[in-house]
Structure 1
């Protein structure tokens, strides 16, 4: 599978989703090979930003307990993966759309990748860059959820049921992401 094909995932149901489905990755494989390494990225970069940029990045940023915050963030990200896989399956079942647990966890693995990668913006000590990266990451994650549901459940472009299920999953995903960010700023 080519990188150019993977970059098309958020923008079309171009068969790459079906190729990923055909590869039949196990849930433990997805967790250990994709989720755990990618989940390290935001806490490590947040720790770096918190200990190196201080209040120049954001007022009150230097006074946080970054070791504690980033450890909790990492553990919460891992928990979120397992909850989101289950939630995707439950939402799609509620909309009478068939998806296997394996495919729901495939979607739960791929959808947050842009948000994980948006943490790379923390290498630049400018708050606006991080905010813009997170906004782009959220947009791409939502697009991945939509295209993933359409492709993995074999729905057409005009299927209102697929859009409704997508909105429910996106709302839950953004709520989970918001809770994670609130936890970071609360400590």
Structure 2
């Protein structure tokens, strides 16, 4: 399973075919892929915001206090875990519309391995300058979308035309879940899980 993380970059079709035909379990996906990769952005973000901070103009760097960054990082991690599960459930639910219903593990594998570039791009949060994170995040997002559009027809066993429509629906659902996560973070700020700034 671990080798698929690296092969998704240079042999994506092989990885998608292996995930479709292989015997994968939800536990293995979470233990070997989802949890380790989902730790990267929150840990990098915690380190970057508490140690380096970000600078606006010629002002001194702004940082988060460790006490405020820790709960934010934990919530970030939990949100990633929940997002994968929710998106996989949506893929599972939509799969019958585009063909036969696929096992949930395949749907989860599709959601997770499509997002590998985005999760690895999270390492950029070690240095939380806006332009660096935007650039690396955009590269990660572009390749993640490419992987999604390549993976859907293979994992779901459908035509490229159906795969395009299916992948577009998954992408739209992912954007909705992103907006919902942002809204939830604003609500959580009202309950004390908000940032406290320092210099």
Q: TM-score range by the shorter chain?
A: 0.7 to 0.9
Name the residue aligned to 1:84: 87
Deviations 1:111-161 (A, max 9, x none): 11111111111233532111011111111111121111111123343x1x2
Q: Does 1:133 align with 2:136?
A: yes
Q: Answer yes or no: is the 8 Å Cα contact 2:52–2:128 preserved in 1.
A: yes
Write out aligned runs for 1:158-177 (5 A): 159=161, 161-177=162-178
**Cα distance change, pair 97–57 in 1 and its aligned pair in 2 (3 A):** farther
In structure 2, how many angstroms separate the alpha carbons of the residues matched to 1:141 and 1:155? 20
Write out aligned runs for 1:101-180 (5 A): 101-157=104-160, 159=161, 161-180=162-181
SS in structure 2 opposite 1:94? coil
Pairwise CA distance, 1:96: 3.3
User: Structure 2 length normalisation: TM-score?
Assistant: 0.78
**Cα distance change, pair 42–20 in 1 and its aligned pair in 2 (3 A):** same
Name the residue aligned to 2:63: 62
Q: Which runs of 5 or more structure 1 residues have no equivalent in the other structure?
A: none
Paired residues in the alignment total 182
In structure 2, how many angstroms separate the alpha carbons of the residues matched to 1:150 and 1:9? 16
Q: Answer yes or no: is the 8 Å Cα contact 1:57–1:126 preserved in 2.
A: no
Q: Which runs of 5 or more structure 2 residues have no equivalent in the other structure?
A: 195-199
Write out aligned runs for 1:37-56 (5 A): 37-56=36-55
